[in-house]
Amino acid sequence: MTILRLAWQSLLSRKFTSGLTIFSIGLSVMLLVGVDCIRQGAQQGFEGTLSQTDLVVGARGGSLPLLLYAVFHLGSANNEISWDTYQHFAHHPAVLWTIPLAMGDSHRGFRVVATDDNFYEHYRYRGDHSLQLAQGSRAEGIFDAVLGSTVAAQLHYHLGEKIVLSHGLEGSFLKHTADPYTVVGILARTATPVDRAIYITLWGDEAMHYGWQNGAPPLQAVPESQIHKSDLQIKTISAFLLRTRSRISTLFLQREINTYKPEPLTAIIPAYALEDLWSVLSAADIALSLVSGAVLVVGLLVMLTALYSSLNERRHEMAVLRAVGLNARQIFALFIFESTLISAVGAGFGLAAVYLVLFAIRIPVENNYGIPLVMVGISSRVLSYLGAIVVAGALLGFIPAIRAYRNALVDGLSAT
C-alpha cells in the first residue's frame, strides 16, 4: 500500500512528463480502440438496418451492390425488375410478405423511394422495431410524399410542404417541376438509412415519368390534375424485400428466384451479403489496426523513455528508500506500479476519449455519409487490447527497475 502511494505521489510530482506520457498512450489507445469500435459500430449499424427480411431481390447483378442500393441507399441499380415478375413472387405460396422498392429519383441529395403500404406495414429494423409516423399519414395519393426524419430535419420541411423531385441522383438538371409532391407524413427517427430518404407511392413514381419516352420528358408537361391512377400502369421496380413463411424455405426460394426463367434475377440473403462486405473491408481494417498498433508501441516507448531518463535524478530517492529498508522487490514494485499506473490511466483515458468521439461523430457521420454507427459496448477484443496494454506497461516497468536496482547496488547508500 505504501509502495502504491509512493508510486502515485512520484508520478504526481512529475505531472508534466507523466501527463504527456499518459496522453500519448491514451491517444494510441484511442486509435486502436477507435478503429475497432467504428468497425463494430458500423457492422451493427448495417446489420440493424434491416431485420426479418429473408431475401433481397433485384435484377441480375452482384449481391453486394444490390444490398447497398436496395437497403443502404448507396450506389444505384443498373437494371429493373418487371412488375409481372414482382407480382409472381409477391403471390408465391412460400412468401409471407414483400416490399417493392423503385428508386432513381432524388430531392436535394436525398433518395426518393417509391414503395407501397407493405413498407410501412412490414419493414423491420434492429430486431422487431417497426416504422412509426411521427406526424401525418402514409403516402396514399399519387403525389403524396413521406419524409425520413433526417430529411425533414435537415431541409426544415413540415407537413403540407410542396416538393419538386429531380430525375436521377445528385444535381440532375431534369426536374419534375410539373408535378410537385406534397409532404403528408414524417417518419419517426430510426437511426438507419431509412431516415435519409423520401417515400412516395409506386403510382407516384409512374406519374412522375408519365408521358416520358426513352428517358426524356414529354415536350408538353402533363399537369398534376390530369393524372389519375387509372391512367397509370406500374411497369417496373428496382428491387424488393421478401420474407418467407418459413425460414426453411429461404434457400429453396433463393434458388428458385436465381434460376427464374422469364427474367434474370438475383436474390441474396442480407446477412451473407454483409459478410462479403466485411471481408472486403477487413483488409483495410487490418491495415488500420496495424498502424494503430505501431502507434501504441511508440506510446509505450515514450513511457519507457520517460521512466528511464528520470532514473538519474532519482538516485538519491532510491538511496533513501533503500536506507529506510525497502527491499529489491519493493523497489521493483515501485517502478512497475508507476508504469502500470501510467499505462492503465492512459488506456482508460483513451477508452473514454473513444466513446466521447464516437458519441459526437455518430449523428454527423450518419447524416453526411449515410453510414449507420451504433454505440457499441466494450468488446472482448477491446478488453484484450486494454489488458495487453496494461500488461505491456507493467512489463516495461521492469527495465527501469532493473537499472535502478543495479544503480542502488553500486551506489550503496551514498548517491552523492
The yes or no reply on residue 336 touching other proteins (CB under 8 A) is no
Q: Measured between alpha carbons, how far is 73 from 112 in angstroms, rounded to an integer?
A: 10
Q: Measured between alpha carbons, how far is 357 from 350 in angstroms, rounded to an integer?
A: 10
Cβ at position 15, least distance to other proteins in Å: 10
Q: Measured between alpha carbons, how far is 111 from 150 in angstroms, rounded to an integer?
A: 12
Whole-Å CA distances, 342 to 71, 213, 237, 306, 348: 45, 70, 59, 11, 10
3 state DSSP class of 247: coil
Closest CA to 95 of 242, 270, 241, 237: 242
| Residue closer to other proteins (CB basis): 281 or 319 | 319
Cβ at position 127, least distance to other proteins in Å: 54
The yes or no reply on residue 230 touching other proteins (CB under 8 A) is no
Query: By CB under 8 A, what part of segment 239-278 binds other proteins?
Result: none
| Residue closer to other proteins (CB basis): 14 or 108 | 14
Strand pairing report for 144-147 and 110-115? unpaired
- Which of 169, 319, 378, 388 contacts other proteins by CB under 8 A? 319
Please count the CA atoms within 13 angstroms of the CA of 330 that sit on its side-chain side: 14
Cβ at position 318, least distance to other proteins in Å: 10
| Residue closer to other proteins (CB basis): 319 or 399 | 319
Query: By CB under 8 A, what part of segment 4-63 binds other proteins?
Result: 6, 9-10, 12-14
- Which of 162, 255, 329, 406 contacts other proteins by CB under 8 A? 329
- Which of 216, 219, 283, 410 contacts other proteins by CB under 8 A? 410
The yes or no reply on residue 342 touching other proteins (CB under 8 A) is no
Q: Measured between alpha carbons, how far is 391 from 11 in angstroms, rounded to an integer?
A: 19
The yes or no reply on residue 415 touching other proteins (CB under 8 A) is yes
The yes or no reply on residue 414 touching other proteins (CB under 8 A) is yes
The yes or no reply on residue 168 touching other proteins (CB under 8 A) is no
The yes or no reply on residue 226 touching other proteins (CB under 8 A) is no
Q: Which stretch binds other proteins (CB under 8 A): 135-143, 146-154, 256-264, 326-334?
A: 326-334
Phi, psi (rounded to 5 degrees) for 354: -55, -45
Q: Measured between alpha carbons, how far is 283 from 285 in angstroms, rounded to an integer?
A: 5
Q: Is the dihedral of CA 245, 99, 138, 135 positive or negative?
A: positive
Provide the CA 402 distance to its chain's centre, in angstroms: 46
The yes or no reply on residue 219 touching other proteins (CB under 8 A) is no
To 10 degrees, the CA torsion angle through 269, 272, 277, 282?
170
- Which of 162, 228, 316, 406 contacts other proteins by CB under 8 A? 316
Q: Measured between alpha carbons, how far is 385 from 370 in angstroms, rounded to an integer?
A: 29
What radius of gyration, in Å, describes the C-alpha atoms of the chain?
31
Closest CA to 145 of 173, 174, 103, 186: 186
The yes or no reply on residue 214 touching other proteins (CB under 8 A) is no
Q: Measured between alpha carbons, how far is 50 from 28 in angstroms, rounded to an integer?
A: 34
- Which of 2, 220, 226, 233 contacts other proteins by CB under 8 A? 2
How many residues touch other proteins (CB under 8 A)?
27
- Which of 291, 328, 356, 363 contacts other proteins by CB under 8 A? 328
**Residue 104-123 contact track with other proteins, rule CB under 8 A, x = bound:** --------------------
- Which of 50, 321, 347, 394 contacts other proteins by CB under 8 A? 321
Contacting residues toward other proteins, per CB under 8 A = 2, 6, 9-10, 12-14, 316-317, 319-329, 409-410, 412-416
